[in-house]
Chain A
Amino acid sequence: MNVLNFNSEQCARIRRHLDAYLSNELLVETTSDVLRHLESCEACSRELEARTRVREALRRAAVTQIPPEELRQAIQRQIRKRQPEFWGGSPQLTWAAALVVVVVLVGVMAQQWIRLRQGRRMVASVLALGVSDHLQCAIKGHNYPDIANPPEQLRQKLGPQYAGLLEVVQQKLPGFEVLEAHICSVQGSPRKYVHFITRGRGTILSVILTRREGEQLPNGKRFVSGNSGSVNLYEAHLDGMNAAGFESKGYFGFVVSDLSQAMTVQIASELAPPLKVALDAGSESQARVDLGEVPFAARWHRHS
């Protein structure tokens, strides 16, 4: 082995940089120094050439290692067999993820349950308006005659705004006789009700309308019991009575009786669409309903 005798300190310095020069890792200024020296120093140029030759020889030799095609295919087969594990197979992360999923699910379910409960409460509180009037006026107060009042008298009691609705109720309630129609209220509340008391199928059935005062029935299919002519129907069982209700722009409508829930809803589905049309339109030919004015004062009577 030959031991190098450096020509100068400069050669020693440049040769210390030759590895980095070969790997293209020198700063631009240092590269210039190396190049300048190489131009004037044959020994260092030969040394660089020798190092470059070894590197090129190594590259050529490495390429002779031909990767076996069967290994590539075996790897691809293995990969296709295995789907990678989520979160790198870490049990802590898996548990944490499971916990998050459970917490989210419980949260969503609790929220759904609360919304369902709130919705049902809204339905019950609105339908309770109709049930309370039916119970107080028709059932406990017995404010109807055994023989039906004549229609003319009923129209008078209803006044010009609601007289037209009598015909709708009579037509859409086959098998029921309208015994009484008036405007009333229940004790302790200034709310007024347009009340039709009917008899049929062995029982008393009320058709009740009242103005909405900010209340509303909840949206959502799960609260709706049925749909008739694009009118949503809601139902509730309150104080031993079955009630079915609907809403128009300015009114709630109720059918209340002790008939079965299904029958009550069926009757309401017949009545709701024409009543809604009449209430919404407020037209002369239908019911003369003026949604802008409520001239009840002279006509309504209070049941105690």
Chain B
Amino acid sequence: MFFHPKLRVEDFEAEAMPHFPDLYRTARLLAQDRAESEDLVQEVYLEAWKSFHRFQMGTNCRAWLFKILFHRLHHFRRRWAKAAKMEAWENPEDQDNLIAETPIPQEIRDEDVLEALGRVPSEFREVVLLADVQEFSYKEIADTLKLPLGTVMSRLSRGRKLLRRELAGVAQSFGITPAKDRERAGESA
């Protein structure tokens, strides 16, 4: 179809704006800083509005917006330096270490979680955020990130473990010790 009915900004806002908090949070936890995440979300909405005629009303607007978000995000990333961490985690030795089930602190503060998350390489972080925070299914994540289902599953598994390890590290640096360590410390005292 070459022609389509005049698009109404009210329809777009009704469909797309309810997802603004989710998009912002995801962008904020994946972009380098606040300014970049705001630019990113703004670009997502302008891109979505520009191509709103291709969106079929009644279909999953949230998934559509996230797809645009990650398309833009990957575009942004080309401008960022490739994370050194990513190369480190690709090391088979490190992967083996990831099998370790890191004990986690009893008290987990939001700041610790965010700091730990920031240390997880973005390729894993984005899958963890989509699965555990936004509660997308594996299939939806594969579709959004244009990845095979198996890659989504392995990145999620590794991403969760990395987060847990980073969380333990962050907590310790703030003087919070895992439960088992505290128990052990009590026994030795």
- The interface of chain A, by Cβ under 8 A from chain B, is 1-4, 19-20, 22-23, 25, 47, 50-51, 53-55, 57-65, 67-68, 71-72, 74-76, 78-80, 82-89, 93, 96-97, 100
Contact of A88 among B12, B53, B163 (CB under 8 A): B53
Q: How far is the CA of A97 from the CA of B45 in the complex (A)?
A: 27
Q: Whose C-beta in chain A lies nearest to the C-beta of B168?
A: A1
Nearest-neighbour CB distance to chain A for B42, whole angstroms, equals 6
A residues in contact with B104, CB < 8 Å:
50, 53-54
A residues in contact with B157, CB < 8 Å:
19
Nearest-neighbour CB distance to chain A for B129, whole angstroms, equals 7
6 contacts between A and B (CB under 8 A): A2-B180, A4-B100, A75-B41, A80-B9, A84-B50, A93-B2
Contact of B24 among A4, A71, A79, A85 (CB under 8 A): A71
**Residue of B101, B128, B180 ringed by the most chain A CB atoms within 10 A:** B101
Further pairs besides A2-B102, A53-B108: 6, Cβ < 8 Å? A4-B99, A54-B163, A62-B129, A68-B38, A76-B13, A88-B54
B117 at the interface (CB under 8 A from A): yes
B128 touches A58 (CB 8 A): yes
Q: How far is the CA of A248 from the CA of B31 in the complex (A)?
A: 84
A residues in contact with B99, CB < 8 Å:
3-4
A residues in contact with B101, CB < 8 Å:
2, 4, 47, 50
Q: Whose C-beta in chain A lies nearest to the C-beta of B157?
A: A19
A residues in contact with B9, CB < 8 Å:
79-80
Q: Whose C-beta in chain B lies nearest to the C-beta of A63?
A: B25
B residues in contact with A53, CB < 8 Å:
104, 108
Nearest-neighbour CB distance to chain B for A20, whole angstroms, equals 7
B153 at the interface (CB under 8 A from A): yes
Interface of B is mostly: helix
B110 at the interface (CB under 8 A from A): yes
B89 at the interface (CB under 8 A from A): no
Q: Fill in one digit per residue for B1-31: 1 if any A CB lies within 8 Å of its CB, else 0.
A: 0111001010011000100110011001100
Nearest-neighbour CB distance to chain B for A93, whole angstroms, equals 7
- The interface of chain B, by Cβ under 8 A from chain A, is 2-4, 7, 9, 12-13, 17, 20-21, 24-25, 28-29, 38, 41-42, 45-46, 49-54, 97, 99-104, 108, 110-111, 113-114, 117, 128-129, 131-133, 137-138, 153, 156-157, 160, 163-165, 167-168, 180
B residues in contact with A58, CB < 8 Å:
113, 117, 128, 132-133, 163
Contact of B29 among A47, A50, A62, A68 (CB under 8 A): A62
Q: How far is the CA of A2 from the CA of B52 in the complex (A)?
A: 51
B133 touches A62 (CB 8 A): yes
Q: Given A20-B153, A23-B156, are A88 and B24 also a contact pair (CB < 8 Å)?
A: no
Q: How far is the CA of A41 from the CA of B115 in the complex (A)?
A: 33
B165 touches A86 (CB 8 A): no
Q: How far is the CA of A87 from the CA of B52 in the complex (A)?
A: 10
Contact of A1 among B41, B46, B165 (CB under 8 A): B165
Q: Given A2-B100, A79-B12, are A23 and B138 also a contact pair (CB < 8 Å)?
A: yes
B residues in contact with A96, CB < 8 Å:
2
Q: How far is the CA of A76 from the CA of B46 in the complex (A)?
A: 9
A residues in contact with B20, CB < 8 Å:
67, 72, 75
Nearest-neighbour CB distance to chain B for A233, whole angstroms, equals 42
B residues in contact with A54, CB < 8 Å:
104, 108, 160, 163-164, 167
Q: How far is the CA of A100 from the CA of B3 in the complex (A)?
A: 11
Nearest-neighbour CB distance to chain B for A32, whole angstroms, equals 20
B13 touches A59 (CB 8 A): no
Nearest-neighbour CB distance to chain A for B30, whole angstroms, equals 11
A51 touches B160 (CB 8 A): yes
Q: Whose C-beta in chain A lies nearest to the C-beta of B159?
A: A19
Q: Given A61-B110, A62-B129, A93-B2, are A79 and B138 also a contact pair (CB < 8 Å)?
A: no
B138 touches A76 (CB 8 A): no
Q: Given A2-B100, A2-B102, A89-B50, are A75 and B165 also a contact pair (CB < 8 Å)?
A: no
